[in-house]
Structure 1
Amino acid sequence: MSSSLHVLHDVEMVVTAELGRTTMPVRDLLGLAPGMVVEIDRAAGAPIDLLVNGRKIAAGEVVVIDEEFGIRITEIAPSGEHVR
């Protein structure tokens, strides 16, 4: 790693775990209520994406650690795909 990147080591970034996506008409959005299920574009058990600034940096599986959710990394995106 280049020494010029060393100054960035303590910069905090927002990391998002994305389970999936879907589209729906406004009328369906307005009709959402507790207990309803929204279908997304991923199968149950499929890896979830880890994003920084909307770009995928990794994928992983959901795990439970002391009653909280975490992500076990299973794949790192090739550097050309997430560093520009």
Structure 2
Amino acid sequence: MSDEQGFDPDSVAGAVDEEVSMDDWAAAMAEQEVADTAAAEVKPATNLFQDLSGSSQSQAVPQNLDMILDIPVQLTVELGRTKIAIRNLLQLAQGSVVELDGLAGEPMDVLVNGCLIAQGEVVVVNDRFGIRLTDIITPVERIRRLQK
């Protein structure tokens, strides 16, 4: 991005320097709590498939799931990507601008261990960046994207 393409560093600095009160965090958390409550009201279908194992292992699944809940994963939010020649990479210095393929205002990709799981928009509260998820990728869609 350059000044010729409509990039205004003063407007970006002004947007980042805006102070956000604790009321904004509280409002964001309350909004998330309402969304979580609505999602919790949806009951998943159970007993859709016949137990073919002949044992009661289906009741052991939740206990086994508890074993993996503390495994850390790498969550990444991606602004965009670009390919750059090593020659140009070595010429980068402080203040250099690298143009990415992502457009301003476009949703950011949320990846878990390199796999796209959601998209969202950047939020700034008290000088900290966060992401508000706007679209969750379904498991079917994730598989379809892997097959491309």
With the shorter chain as reference, the TM-score category is 0.7 to 0.9
Aligned match of 1:36: 96
Aligned length: 83
Is residue 2:65 matched to residue 1:5?
yes
CA distance in 1, matches of 2:98, 2:83: 10
Of the two, which has the highest radius of gyration?
A: 2
Q: CA deviation at 1:23?
A: 0.2
Q: Gapped runs of 5+ residues in structure 1?
A: none
- 3-state SS of the aligned residue for 1:45? coil
Unaligned runs of 5+ in 2: 1-43, 45-60, 144-148
Alignment partner, residue 71 of structure 1: 131
The structure 2 residue matched to 1:58, chosen from 114, 118, 132, is 118
Structure 1 CA distance for aligned equivalents of residues 84 and 124 of structure 2: 30
- Please provide the CA RMSD for this pair: 2.0
TM-score (norm 2): 0.51
TM-score (norm 1): 0.86
Q: Deviations over 1:22-70 (max 9, x none)?
A: 0011111000011121111111111111111110011101100221000
Give the share of equivalent positions with the same residue, in percent: 48
Aligned mate of 1:17, from 69, 72, 77: 77
